[in-house]
Amino acid sequence: MEELFAYSLLYSIGYEKYDEYREALDNLFCCTPEDEILLDLEGRDYKDAMLHLYQLMNELSFDIIKFGGQLMSELKTVYEESDIIGFSEKMYDLWKLLPDKINNEEPFYTLNYAGDCLSYGDEIRCCELYKCALNYYEDNSNQYKEV
Note the pLDDT tens digit of each residue in 91-113.
999 999 999 999 999 999 999 99
- C-alpha 66: how far from its chain's center? 10
* Mean predicted lDDT score pLDDT of the chain: 93
Q: What is the pLDDT of residue 140?
A: 58
Q: What is the pLDDT of residue 83?
A: 95
Measured in degrees and rounded to the nearest 5, phi and psi for residue 146 equal: -105, 140
Asked whether residue 146 carries a pLDDT value surpassing 60, the answer given is no
Tell me if the pTM is above 0.85: yes
CB 79, CB 134: distance < 8 Å: yes
What is the amino acid identity at position 46?
A: Y
Percent of the chain with pLDDT strictly greater than 90: 93
The widest CA-to-CA distance across the chain, in whole angstroms, is: 53
